[in-house]
Structure 1
Amino acid sequence: MNKITTYFRESYKELMEKVTWPSWAQLQQSTVIVLVATLLITALVWVMDLASSSVLRFAYSLF
């Protein structure tokens, strides 16, 4: 039981003293970066899906 108490005590201490939290501006900037990256990756996957669908439709039309 002592190990569990020590674990929680040290975890709390680390959270309060060693963790640095981003400022509001940094948080907004990171959020915008993640949203833009998500949109770009989504568009890339959509284009790849469209291309593979077209290639497969063409291949199926040959048979």
Structure 2
Amino acid sequence: MAKVFNYLSDSFVELKSNVTWSTWAEVQKYTIIVSIFAIIMALATWGVDSVFQKAIEGFFNLINS
């Protein structure tokens, strides 16, 4: 149990003294950038999925006709 306590204590000291934290303005800016990128990637994935869906439906309609 002492090892766990020492690990947690050392981790807290590390976070407090050795980590460089971003400013609140930077965090907000990067959050917006990541959100926009995630939306763009979701729309791109949806678009590619729709194209492949139409292509596969067309292929199977061609085979079944």
Aligned-partner SS, 2:20: coil
Aligned to 1:36: 36
Provide runs of 4+ in structure 1 moved above 3 Å: none
Unaligned segments of structure 2, at least 5 residues: none
Unaligned segments of structure 1, at least 5 residues: none
TM-score, length of structure 2 as denominator length: 0.83
Q: Percent identity?
A: 29
Aligned to 2:55: 55
- The Cα RMSD (Å) is 1.2
CA drift of 1:2 comes to 3.4
Tell me the number of residue pairs that the alignment of Structure 1 and Structure 2 aligns: 63
Aligned to 1:8: 8
1:8-56, Cα deviation, whole Å (9 max, x unpaired): 2211110110112211110111101111111110111111111011101
Give me the whole-angstrom Cα distance separating, in 2, the residues matched to 1:35 and 1:5.
37
